[in-house]
Amino acid sequence: EVQLVESGGGWVQTGGSLRLSCAASGFTFSNYDMHWVRQVTGNRLEWVSGTGTSGDSYYSDSVRGRFTASRDNANNSLYLQMSSLTAGDTAQYYCVRASSGTYLMDVWGKGTTVTVSS
Amino acid sequence: DIVLTQSPDSLAVSLGERATINCKSSQTVFHFTKRKNFLSWYQHKPGQPPRLLISWASTRESGVPDRFSGSGSGTHFTLTISSLQAEDVAIYFCQQYDSTPPTFGGGTKVEIK
């Protein structure tokens, strides 16, 4: 069964840092681009970052310079290091697999919750 | 960024009746060289991960009931549930994957009347 399981969410103070992890199983992880998508208040979905098969990462304007995405193909894992967190980063964060060469997001994890407050 | 506007925000439909959700894009998502619309639809139930229903505007994913269909091209798209079932209660999102950043519609909540 294809599965993505996120972990690492929690409560953090404004300005703090947090590292999310995503464990992938049931497919050849190294063959797929992987993304982080977050769902903020009001159910709005926002793309956060993408990481290509070779580890190159790209970011939305709202997180560039504060978040760093990476992957470990040997361990079928995706990571998101988040720093300088603000209340605007409070969201449910989803790890998502993308269909080859596109942003078509075909498999999602259940998500992990990040809450940022003072 | 491409803005996707969904309508309505919510709708209540009787069991067995048709539900129609619209998604309007601020720019075309039709890829002229690949001759495809880069538009997908997702179903999201509480406590579950979002599920891809429709890709390329009208291609139903494996295992998705045939009561779900997608249509449209360019900037206007529709997701239709031909005969609403109780298990279809969820929030439905459209997404464009034609350009960076990928963007999502605001979601439509479907309930039973």
| pLDDT (tens digit per residue) in A36-58 | 999 998 889 999 999 999 999 99
Residue A85: count of CB within 10 angstroms of its CB: 22
A102 reaches B (C-beta below 8 A)? yes
Residue B1: the pLDDT is 95
Please tell me the predicted confidence (pLDDT) of residue A103.
94
Residue A74, pLDDT score: 96
pLDDT given at position B106: 96
Best A3, A45, A95, A110 residue to mutate vs chain B (most B CBs within 10 Å): A45
The per-residue b/e assignment along A28-39, b for 16 or more CB within 10 angstroms, e otherwise, is: ebeebbbbbbbb
- DSSP secondary structure letters along B66-81: TTEEEEEETTEEEEEE
Residue type, B18: R
| Chain-chain contact of A105 with B48 (C-beta, under 8 angstroms) | no
Q: For residue B55, give how far its alpha carbon lies from the nearest alpha carbon of chain A (Å).
A: 8
Ranges of chain B with pLDDT below 50: none
d(CA B52, CA B41): 6
Q: Tell me what pLDDT residue B15 has.
A: 97
How close does chain A come to B22, measured CA to CA in Å? Answer: 16
What is the band of A70 on the pLDDT scale with cuts at 50, 70, 90? very high
Mean pLDDT, rounded, for A61-83: 97
Name the residue in chain B with its Cα closest to that of A101: B97
Tens of pLDDT along B18-30? 999 999 999 999 9
